[in-house]
Amino acid sequence: MTSSAISPHLLDSIPLERWPRHIAIIMDGNGRWAERQGLPRAAGHERGARVVRQITEACSNLGRIEQLTLYCLSSENWKRPADELEFLMQLLELYLVNERPTFLEHNVRVRILGRRDGIPERVLAEMDRTVEFTQQCTGLWLNLAINYGGRAELVDAVRQIGHQVEAGRLKCDEITEQTISDHLYTHGLPDPDMLIRTAGELRISNFLLWQVSYAEIWITDLCWPEFDESTLAEAITAYANRVRRFGGLKK
């Protein structure tokens, strides 16, 4: 990771209780950014990976953000050309290997969200090694959504719950919202307080469908390779200025 620091005066005035504990980001626009620069799409993905390092380090250094969840590869992305998918797998593998020392330096713990089906064995092995390597870290949780789909996550949760009902360990009328939350890929994690999307798209794209029910959504027209610490500070400031009612009235 490169050195990064958000100017203190931008965020120091925000009370602790107004900070988002969990930020989720749909990192969109790598390919579009590259095409606008006259570069191959692969260059956009490489630049996007560098921004992941920068923003992860920035969130860790801020010390007030507990969870950062990044939409790295959706279950729909398998529809892309084979050569682009192979490049993405190589880039992911390289990222997982190269970032381990920095994860340890910044006390970042990695968690993987998503299905393992279709991911090459060599990449799965590096995912598992990185999770193992960082399991003793106690700072920022970096949750990487890889081969992730919100509907698939709900299907997997329902299947697990159904097996418990079949086995007689759970009754249908005992199923609650907490039961479902406990069987999601994100079990044990707080729901996102804020969902950021880049590249100006106005949709959730099958990301954390259950978990973002009450998340504050913040959208920027910047593509992910253009996202930086000042953009992150802008998003956090916007979040802090919103009133979260959760269905109630303003107090």
pLDDT band at 243; cut points 50, 70, 90? confident
pLDDT band at 11; cut points 50, 70, 90? confident
Active-site residue (options: 28, 30, 143, 193): 28
Could you tell me which of 132, 24, 146 has the C-alpha nearest to residue 75? 146
Strands 22-26, 109-113: pairing kind: unpaired
Q: Across the chain, what does the average pLDDT equal?
A: 93
Q: What angle do CA 131, 225, 221 make, to 5 degrees?
A: 120
User: Is 77 a known active-site residue?
Assistant: yes
Whether residue 74 is predicted with pLDDT greater than 90 in this model: the reply is yes
Which residues, listed in sequence order, are joined to residue 113 by a DSSP beta bridge? 145
Q: pLDDT tens, 202-242?
A: 999 999 999 999 999 999 999 999 999 999 999 999 999 99
Residues 6+ apart with CB under 8 A from 184: 153, 154, 157, 210, 211
Instruction: Judge whether 165 and 171 are in contact, CB under 8 Å.
Output: yes
What percentage of the chain exceeds 90 in pLDDT?
Answer: 88
Q: What is the pLDDT of residue 4?
A: 47
Q: What is the pLDDT of residue 238?
A: 96
What is the C-alpha to C-alpha distance for residues 225 and 45, in angstroms, rounded to an integer? 8
Which residues, listed in sequence order, are joined to residue 218 by a DSSP beta bridge? 196
Q: pLDDT tens, 144-172?
A: 999 999 999 999 999 999 999 999 999 99
Instruction: Using DSSP, state whether 100 is helix, strand or coil.
Output: helix
Domain layout of the chain by residue ranges: 19-150+191-240
The pTM assigned to this predicted structure is: 0.92
179-208 average pLDDT score: 97
Active-site residue (options: 61, 77, 206, 228): 77
CATH 3.30.470.20 describes domain 19-150+191-240: no
User: Is 143 a known active-site residue?
Assistant: no
